[in-house]
Structure 1
Amino acid sequence: MAQSVADRINEAGPELAELAWQNERLGKLSDRSAQIIREAGVMRILQPCEHGGLGGTPADFLEAVMTVARHDGSAGWVCGVVGVHPWEVALFDPKLGHDIWGQDQETWIASPYTPTGIAEPVEGGYRLTGRWQFSSGTDHSDWVFLGALLGDGKGRPAMPPRAMHLILPRPDYSIIDDSWDVIGLLGTGSKDVAVNGAFVPAYRAIFHEDVASGAAAQKAGLSNPIYKLPFSVIFPVGITGAIIGMAEGALAAHGAYQRDRVSAAGAKVRDDPYAAYFTGEAASEIHASRVQLLSGINWAYDQVTSGREITFEDRSRIRRNQIRCAWRAVAAIDTIYARSGGNASRRTNPIQRFWRDAHVGLNHFIHVPGPTYHANAMTQYGLEPPEPLRMGI
């Protein structure tokens, strides 16, 4: 069933592509775009089966995200971010899944995980306060994952710092409506959210270190190997997959435009060998990004399915390649855009929309190359990377 999600998205592809313009104007996904995504089942691919999940693999999820992003970059981005959250819910106390999906198995969960809040320990849980940026898809979500630092009882982070993931229902947080004014990914509606002293029961909180190390899955006694994947391996997949889908969408729009385009000199562009050369080069780079990203997540899934460990060196290699996939795909979009003529910059041309969306998406933390490349190089030198370089791996 999970494998058919991409097919359902493709059937609705022309409508999704047309709705992309409306999403930009709205500054969030339209209700119809969200409905198409729900009906296709994208967000339920990684959802626990006992709560209506489709029992899909990470590759199924990645294929679905890339397919959505090929038609609408913003919609694909929301799928890549929001669609991975059900995976993490399985790591919590089973009560949490019932809280979220007990009444509606189509309920979405937003984020972000950046620890810009303070979670003060109180009896039975935590008291959370803070403000967070970039909550993609938040208008269509009824719960939110938020990152925070464990408090010291005085409103400051405890030392040494310990990052946490806490999850709250919509009544416990506020969405800041005027906080998403950007040049790309407009339709994601990635607005700020704020919390002012909300109580979070202990079973709705988890330490990041447990999620990152795989200890959370072990503590929960989960047998499905998908939940044994490291957070740093599964979380980036959907986001980078959305970037690759945007590149595929840009390539398709470029091809359709170049086929009938006539240059200022009156020649058919399709007969220009130089233009064709760069189209072929971009197509190869985008395909290489797709194959490498799928290869990394499939390898990791095979490892945990076989009961083998994914080491830090493995994680750094997968993250290195995932980052490179994003940068390679965006460079290919630049090649396409630069050779699509002046009309590519018109607001009615989807090429410029994919170009803007992809560049904004490349600014996400998980696409920052320096520390991860450095850490991976150190493992190749036979050295142990210091803690600052291990962040996000």
Structure 2
Amino acid sequence: MTHEIVQQVEALAPRLAAAADETERLGKLSSESVAVVREAGVMRMLQPKDHGGFAAHPRDFAEAVMAVARVCGSTGWVCGVGGVHPWEMALCDRRVQEEVWGDDPDTWIASPYMVGGVAVPTEGGYTLSGHWQFSSGTDHCDWIFLGAAVGDAQGNPLSPPRVLHVILPRRDYTIVEDSWNVMGLCGTGSKDIRIDGAFVPEYRTIDANEVAQGEIAAQRAGRSETLYRLPFWSMFPLGITAAVVGITEGLLTAHYGYQAGRTMATGVKVKEDPYSLYAISEAAADIAAARTQLLDGISRAYDLADAGRPVTFEQRALIRRNQVSCAWRAVRAGDQIFARSGGNALRTDNPLQRFWRDSHAGLQHAIHVPGSIYHTTALTEMGIEPAAAQRILI
């Protein structure tokens, strides 16, 4: 059964579609796009119920992200990234949960998680400095998760490294304006973040390794719900890849509408050309397969956790391999569609070119790099233990 939030998104889709061009021009989500996402409740899907969320099945969350991305890729991307942050916040100290959501359960949280600074231990917590890129949707967020390496007294990262996800309020960091000038996903406003010596209390941190494994962080946080016992590297990539698949679905929908009445340079109508129709259906089947495989992976992880069984590293690797493959498969299919859309598809008033650019921009995210993931998964399938460096992002 379709989740109520997905139904809400589909009902509000015309408003999102109408705001998509403004979102791209602004370089961040338009006020209308933000209003629609808030009204639909997408950002609260993975939020715990004790803080006004839905604690939904992650499959439903992915479908909601796809529904948003089908009409506006940038808004779908922000939902896919930002919508996972309430899931991790549920694993954090209850004090910071209350700080973030106590007055407003619709407070949005930004990131990025890649290590961009060093947290130096001090009395009661850490002193943090650094520079981070790609903070999607950050203009609309009041708190942020950041990846930080724990350092020594001189500010040098420890060896072996220890990574924290640190949580800061808007007053403690600077958003670098004019730091998001790109060719795709322009409306995500994924700007840079700078911090110079901010104090982070110990309770506003969480160990990245504990979150990666899922079960440990859930036990520490006192969360028994299945949702919060899932591994980070199954959950975080889900929203991002869901956005990419949804964008290609939007490209396909726009292509159908555009081609239905189009006559090619040869004088043949597309609807009467068997070669074009074959290519369209082949691409559509690949996009549908990408959607199905992505949802299947997170559903399998959920079922394991729900049965009280651990999601092993080998299983996590398979989920990641398939998730990466879903993104590339969908975008390759989108290329076949766009290549057969004619010269007018290049015009900026044609949404086809925006969906095409956004889909390719989505592949640039680190979680879509296939090499190390494919390499490691093949080793595990052969029964070979991968090295520590090969286990990163899985």
Fold equivalence (TM over 0.5): yes
Using the size of structure 2 for normalisation, the TM-score is 0.98
Using the size of structure 1 for normalisation, the TM-score is 0.99
Give the letter aligned to residue 355 of structure 1. Answer: W
Is 2:6 aligned against 1:14?
no
Partner of 2:262: 261
Which aligned pairs between 1:110-259 and structure 2 lie closer than 5 A?
A: 110-214=110-214, 215-259=216-260
Q: CA-atom RMSD, angstroms?
A: 1.0
Partner of 2:59: 59
Is the CA contact 2:15–2:36 (under 8 Å) kept in the aligned structure 1? no
Partner of 1:322: 323
Secondary structure at the counterpart of residue 39 of structure 2:
helix
Partner of 1:91: 91
CA apart distance, 1:128: 0.6
CA apart distance, 1:13: 0.9
CA distance in 2 between counterparts of 1:8 and 1:312 reads 36
Secondary structure at the counterpart of residue 12 of structure 1:
helix
Is the CA contact 2:118–2:149 (under 8 Å) kept in the aligned structure 1? yes
Is 2:46 aligned against 1:46?
yes
CA distance in 2 between counterparts of 1:275 and 1:320 reads 31
Give the letter aligned to residue 237 of structure 2. Answer: P
CA distance in 1 between counterparts of 2:195 and 2:2 reads 35
CA apart distance, 1:10: 1.1
CA apart distance, 1:147: 0.5
CA apart distance, 1:265: 2.5
Secondary structure at the counterpart of residue 260 of structure 1:
coil
Is 2:273 aligned against 1:272?
yes
Is 2:352 aligned against 1:351?
yes
CA distance in 2 between counterparts of 1:221 and 1:109 reads 22
The number of aligned residues is: 393
CA apart distance, 1:23: 0.6
CA apart distance, 1:158: 1.2
CA distance in 1 between counterparts of 2:382 and 2:55 reads 39
Is the CA contact 2:55–2:227 (under 8 Å) kept in the aligned structure 1? no
Give the letter aligned to residue 45 of structure 2. Answer: I
Q: Deviations over 1:67-106 (max 9, x none)?
A: 0000000000000000000000111111111100111111
Secondary structure at the counterpart of residue 260 of structure 2:
helix
CA apart distance, 1:163: 1.0
Secondary structure at the counterpart of residue 299 of structure 2:
helix
Is the CA contact 1:334–1:355 (under 8 Å) kept in the aligned structure 2? yes
CA distance in 2 between counterparts of 1:218 and 1:107 reads 25
Which aligned pairs between 1:364-375 and structure 2 lie closer than 5 A?
A: 364-375=365-376
Give the letter aligned to residue 96 of structure 1. Answer: V
CA distance in 2 between counterparts of 1:78 and 1:250 reads 18
CA distance in 2 between counterparts of 1:154 and 1:296 reads 43
CA apart distance, 1:32: 1.1
Is 2:315 aligned against 1:310?
no
CA distance in 1 between counterparts of 2:78 and 2:2 reads 18
CA distance in 2 between counterparts of 1:106 and 1:382 reads 45
Is the CA contact 1:2–1:45 (under 8 Å) kept in the aligned structure 2? no
Is 2:378 aligned against 1:381?
no
CA distance in 2 between counterparts of 1:343 and 1:389 reads 45
CA distance in 1 between counterparts of 2:133 and 2:234 reads 23
CA distance in 2 between counterparts of 1:17 and 1:240 reads 20
CA distance in 2 between counterparts of 1:230 and 1:21 reads 36
Q: Deviations over 1:225-257 (max 9, x none)?
A: 111100010111000000000010000000001
Give the letter aligned to residue 220 of structure 2. Answer: K
Question: Gaps spanning 5+ residues in structure 2: where?
Answer: none
Is the CA contact 2:59–2:295 (under 8 Å) kept in the aligned structure 1? yes
CA distance in 1 between counterparts of 2:266 and 2:278 reads 19
Partner of 2:285: 284
CA apart distance, 1:356: 0.5
CA distance in 1 between counterparts of 2:267 and 2:244 reads 35
CA apart distance, 1:2: 8.8
Q: Deviations over 1:272-305 (max 9, x none)?
A: 0000011000100000000000000001001000
Structure 1 stretch displaced more, 262-271 or 135-144: 262-271
